[in-house]
Structures are given as C-alpha cells and as structure tokens.
Structure 1
Amino acid sequence: MQHETIPQRASTVREARLPERLSKAKRAFTTRRVDLGKARRIIRSGVVPVAGDLVLARVTAIGQHRRIENVHGRRGDLFIGDEIIVAYGNRYAPDQFEAIVPTDLGECHLVAGGGVAARMTVKHASMKQPTRIEPIGLLGGTSGSVLNLRDFAMTHEATPFRKAPVRIVVAGSSMNAGKTTTVASLVRGLTLAGFRVGAAKLTGTGSGGDLWSMIDSGAAAALDFTDAGHASTFGLDTGELTDVASNLLAALDERNCDVVICEIADGLLQQETAALLEASKQEGWFDGLIFAAGDAMGAAYGANWLIERQHDLIAISGLLTASPLASREAAGVTGLPIVGIQQLTDPVEVAKLIFSKPPVLKRVA
C-alpha cells in the first residue's frame, strides 16, 4: 500500500518503551488481528493516513461514543487523556455519522465504538457530537512503513468448487431494519436442525456486535470484513468489495460448513450494498436472498428492486414482522413468505424455507 508522502523527509520517532506504552493503551476491536509486536516506532509526520492505518491517539473530549469495544468484545469506558489504538476508516451510517479519513494527522473523531478514526462530515440529528481524539502518531514497523490492517488480513483464494451446498444472503431496506436479528435467527434455527453453519458480515463499520451475535447463535465459524483487513467498507470500489467477499466465502468453505449465511450492511440504496449485490449476482455466490424491512412499503420497494435485478428472493423478514398488520400488508403486496424470529429459529420451518426452490416472482404492479 502506497502512502502519499508530504514533500519533506519523513521523520520518525523511535520509542524504546513503545511496547509498554501500547500495552497500556485501550486497543479497539478493529485491531484484533494485529500483532502489536511488529510496532517499532511512532511516525508523527511525513505521511498522509489512509484507510486501515493503525494510529495511537489520545482522547480529548467525550462525545457520542463514551466507550470503546476491545478485541474481546468488552466495552470499556473512555476518559479524557486515555490513549487508544484504533484504525483509520471511512464511515457511512445514516442513523449516526458520515465520516472520511482525513488528509493529515490533526485532531479527528472516534466515529465507531469498535475503533474507527475519521473526520465527521455530517451526523444524524439524534447524535451527540462525536468523541474527539488527537492522533499521537501512526504505528510503524521495522522498515519505517506504516502498519495497516491489510498487513494482518487473512487471505483465502476463491476456487470454482465451493463446499457449502447452500449460501444465503441477508440484505435490508436500511440500517436497523433487522438484518442482524434475521441472520442470528437463521444461524440458530439451522444449527438446531443439525447443520454446520458458517456466517459472515461482508460490509459495514468495524464493531463486534454482529460477529458476537453470529457466534452466540451457534455459528461453527463466523467472520467479518475486519478479518479481510478493513476497518470499514465504505468507499471501497467494486473490485475491493468483491475481494473481501470472495476471501470470506473461501475461508468459510475451508471450514467445511453445510450452510453459509451472509449479511450485507445498510440498505439497497447505499452505494457499496448495491455494488456488492450486483457482483454477487454475476459471480453466482448465493442461492437465495432474504430481505429485511422495517415496514410494508420498504418491503414492497425492496422486493421490486431485487426482482428487477433478478435476485432469488425467498422471503421477507426484519422489524416489520413485529407487526401482524404490517406483515399482512407485505405478504399481500409481495406474495412472499413473511418470516420472523419464531419461524427462522424453528429447525423444521427454517430448513423448509432455505432448502426449497425460490418462488418465481413478478414485479409488484
């Protein structure tokens, strides 16, 4: 990975006691694959940060994120003056922040509790100002290069012959539409049915919540895009998104899963979501898609959007299933099964749903 160099000789500061300093810092979830033993110096000037770069920063003001999630999933309180180890990354979250990787090592923000550093551009009206952090410097290795999450990513090359007989993807109408609950319910039901289930979150912003949910539901193997070297997938081009997804799918194949359940973050109108769904169709990655929606109108629009693009839509799930009336409306307009937690966690019902041939659907008039 090439870093843009400021037109001056890069200056670095070696710290004999760096390992001790890093051991005392609060280390975020996004850095969980990183071997901090490879950090030899703090680079304070001469480079422009890029997504994935590891940074030691100091908390200067507490805002929206009052806690940071560590590599084990524990959320620890933050205090002004705390030193934290996080990764630079872009963020797209309609219910929270949009933020981008800055072009300098000036003060920026903690834009995700899982450990993403960026500079906020806009925020949802319900959000407080983001927690402010002051970068102390980027972590560098023995050669003087900046350590990046990609340096520690797993790599699994896709093969033309997959081992998992069935792969299902869950997409949604928006953030907080019920995708994660749908995935967890699928994993639980299929595990109870006796299948070895693998699960992966292909896009999103680095945080352990969805990963822990998959594991707690019984997944024999669970991965996310941070395993592929990204703190966030916002801003990745289609080729990079394809690399992330194929890497994770190949890794789950190597774990001999019978069924693989994947989640794509955000809603259909989000750029990376739309791009990855299109790539998945071209690559033939998935045997069916379950769509999570918050209401009947979202379900109807989403069903049309997916049918027009020839995805194998097999059911509607999500927050709307909490409402019998909304479920009835969605069923009436889409002609699809509406499945909530009860159906998805039932081993018999979920096996029938997943292993049946997807219905032939027409666009809603």
Structure 2
Amino acid sequence: MRVGRDLRVAPAITAREGYLVAGRIHGTKSVYNQIEDVHGRMVTLHDGDVIVGVLGHRNALHGYSGYVPEAITVGDRLHLLNLGGVIGVCTSQNPEVGKPFDVEILGAVLTFPDFEDRSGVPAHIGMNAIALREEPRTDVPVAFVAGTCMNSGKTAAASRLIRYLSREGMTVGGCKLTGVSLRRDTLSMMDYGAKWAVSFTDAGVVTTSPETSKRVARGLVRYLADAGAQVIVAELGDGILGEYGVQAILGDAELMKAAGAIVMCANDPVGAWGAQRVMTERFGLGIDVVTGPATDNAVGTGFVERELKLSAINARTHPEEFGAFVAGRLSRGL
C-alpha cells in the first residue's frame, strides 16, 4: 500500500491492525529516533513531524511491546513502536531504546479505489496485497534461517546465503516470514542477489502471530515458487520461542517437507545448546549448521562442534564456506 506526500484523512478511525493513520510526532530522542520511508531510507524524526503509520502490535525483547487499543479518536496519543512505522500503545520498553515517540493521531488515511469516488475509504495495508495460495509446494527447496532471538544474525546469514546461491547461477527468492513490518531485511535480500524478496507485510499483515504465521508462510513460499524461484531463502524473524508465530511454522509438517536446510543463528553457546534441544524435542527437526555471534571465533565454533556435534560456520567471516555448506544441503532437493 503506497501513499504520497499529499493525502486526505478522516476523523473516523478503525482501531484494528493494518489500518493507516496520520500522526504528529511529539518529543525528541537520540536513539531509536528514525522511521523507514516508502523507499527503505531511514529518516530521522523531529518534534512536530507528520508521518503516516500503520496500527499494529509488537512484542520485541530488544525494543517495545504494545497493542492496538479498542478505540482511537483524533487527538489521542499513541506510540511509535518500531522503525517501520507501526503505531500502538506501548506497554513495555527496553532501556537501550528509551521511551518511544508519542504520536498524536490526526486521522485515518483515506484511499480512493474508485475513480469517481470522492468520499474515499480507510486505507489498509491489505489493499493490493499478495493473494496467498496456501496449497504448499515442496518441489522447490527452502533454506529456513531461524534464530534464538532477535538480533542473532539471521538477516546477515540469509543475505550471505542468497549472494552465494545467486553467484552459483541459481534464481533465488527471499522472504521474511515472521516479525513486525520493516522493509530493511527484504531490501537487504534484494541487494545480495534475490530476484524477488517479499515479507508478511506484502501479504497484508503488520505483525505476525501464531494465528497468522502458517498461512502467510505457506502463501509466500508458494508465491516465490510459482514466480520461478529455483531455491528459496526464508528468514524466520524473532526467535524460535518468540511470540510472532515461528513455532507454528516449524510445527507445520507440510512446510517442513520443503526444508532443504535449517540454519540456526545463536548469540552464544548456551543459546545454541538450547536451540538444539528445542528443535529436536519440540519439533523433531535437526539443525544443519549453526551461525551467528556464537560462531564469532574458535571458542564458540569449538563448543558447537564438540559438544553439540553440529557444524558451525560464521556467515559473516566465512561466507563462501557457509554458502557452499548450505548449498550442498539444498542440492538434495534440486
């Protein structure tokens, strides 16, 4: 759903996830003080700036948690919950990001789908969204990139893998299946060589949940396969025990039939150990390779290889080795 610099707003606001609202920023911040524009550029916010955001919830360990209130009227003060423009009521914050910006609600953003319609309708990100087909396709191998928590190196690993696969001549589709709306990760996938890169936002979902994640994941994987991807790299935003629905995806037997490789990003050796237990005991799945900060040097890689009997390759420092290893796993499904 794209909006221009000139738009119309209405006082009647639908207080549900996905609806666009205009708001005025109040306050000044020195950290976590930016918003992503429609092109993916980060713009620093200042007191008095007017923005367009989307109503949604967030449950981030290293950021904010918040929800959409039952009713919203013009003049209400809500909060900016993430860099992607998600707006709601903040209930908890990580001290590293400080208090969120206050957002004074100015009205509901209107769109005019009918040429002669002058009244408009409230804009929703589901308008013009990808039509999801949930019937799974398992003939295109998927590398699922999961992590122990947010900021564990998932996007870096997914991007390095995409670069390797694309340089090997494969047509790569990238997707982010869970999390909270932000274009940064899919833009990184495109920068590294993905022919297509889509996320749950493209499917009309602001923030994934256990109720939405499986449907979205099936639909996006099917979309990329139908588009012509020979291999798909799918990032699972947040952690395997987070609240954005990763468990529902890992527990979907049909989706896991397409899993050519499972990459686990861990922040430390304990996280790698716990991830192996969770994947094996809860989902009956194996991990093909561990990467992320836990593999930043020989201390971590040695633990993973010796104690967990798993391969450990740092995607940032050894991208070729990492890419070749995962490609070898994926080749079994090609």
The TM-score with structure 2 as length reference comes to: 0.88
Cα 1:248–1:42 shift into 2, 3 Å: same
Say if 1:202 and 1:265, in contact at 8 Å, map to a contact too.
Answer: yes
| Structure 1 equivalent of residue 33 of structure 2 | 66
| Structure 2 equivalent of residue 111 of structure 1 | 81
- Give 2:101's match in structure 1, choosing from 131, 148, 156: 131
Say if 1:290 and 1:315, in contact at 8 Å, map to a contact too.
Answer: yes
Is residue 148 of structure 1 aligned with residue 124 of structure 2? yes
- Which AA in structure 1 matches 2:217? A
3-state DSSP class of the match of 2:180?
A: coil
Structure 1 segments unaligned to the other structure (5+ residues): 1-32, 358-365
3-state DSSP class of the match of 1:138?
A: strand
Is residue 56 of structure 1 aligned with residue 22 of structure 2? yes
Q: Percent identity?
A: 27
| Structure 2 equivalent of residue 34 of structure 1 | 2
Structure 2 segments unaligned to the other structure (5+ residues): 112-116
Cα 1:227–1:280 shift into 2, 3 Å: farther
Is residue 333 of structure 1 aligned with residue 307 of structure 2? yes
Cα 1:35–1:78 shift into 2, 3 Å: closer
1:167-197 deviation per Cα after TM superposition (whole angstroms, max 9, x unaligned) = 1101111111111111111111111222111
| Structure 1 equivalent of residue 285 of structure 2 | 311
Q: Which moved more, 1:107-116 or 1:266-275?
A: 266-275
2: CA distance, partners of 1:37 / 1:67: 18
3-state DSSP class of the match of 2:91?
A: strand
Say if 1:111 and 1:130, in contact at 8 Å, map to a contact too.
Answer: yes
- Which AA in structure 2 matches 1:187? I
1:49-102 deviation per Cα after TM superposition (whole angstroms, max 9, x unaligned) = 111100011112233532221111111222222211111111111011111112
- Give 1:176's match in structure 2, choosing from 151, 158, 170: 151
2: CA distance, partners of 1:246 / 1:216: 24
Cα 1:350–1:343 shift into 2, 3 Å: farther
2: CA distance, partners of 1:98 / 1:256: 37
Q: Which moved more, 1:141-150 or 1:222-231?
A: 141-150
The TM-score with structure 1 as length reference comes to: 0.81
| Structure 1 equivalent of residue 50 of structure 2 | 83
1:9-29 deviation per Cα after TM superposition (whole angstroms, max 9, x unaligned) = xxxxxxxxxxxxxxxxxxxxx
Say if 1:154 and 1:229, in contact at 8 Å, map to a contact too.
Answer: yes
Aligned residue pairs total 319
Cα 1:292–1:281 shift into 2, 3 Å: farther
Is residue 354 of structure 1 aligned with residue 330 of structure 2? yes
The alpha-carbon deviation at position 284 of structure 1 amounts to 3.0
Task: Please tell me the root mean square deviation across aligned C-alpha atoms, in Å.
Answer: 2.3
1:93-118 deviation per Cα after TM superposition (whole angstroms, max 9, x unaligned) = 10111111123231111111111111
Say if 2:261 and 2:329, in contact at 8 Å, map to a contact too.
Answer: no
- Which AA in structure 1 matches 2:53? V
Say if 1:206 and 1:226, in contact at 8 Å, map to a contact too.
Answer: yes
The alpha-carbon deviation at position 348 of structure 1 amounts to 4.0
Cα 1:345–1:215 shift into 2, 3 Å: farther
- Which AA in structure 2 matches 1:108? L
Decide which structure has the larger Cα Rg and report it: 1
Say if 2:109 and 2:122, in contact at 8 Å, map to a contact too.
Answer: yes
- Give 1:205's match in structure 2, choosing from 176, 180, 190: 180
The alpha-carbon deviation at position 351 of structure 1 amounts to 2.5
2: CA distance, partners of 1:268 / 1:102: 27
| Structure 1 equivalent of residue 275 of structure 2 | 302
Cα 1:334–1:283 shift into 2, 3 Å: closer
3-state DSSP class of the match of 1:275?
A: helix
2: CA distance, partners of 1:38 / 1:280: 47
Is residue 266 of structure 1 aligned with residue 232 of structure 2? no
- Which AA in structure 2 matches 1:279? D
3-state DSSP class of the match of 2:259?
A: coil
- Which AA in structure 2 matches 1:322? D
3-state DSSP class of the match of 1:320?
A: helix
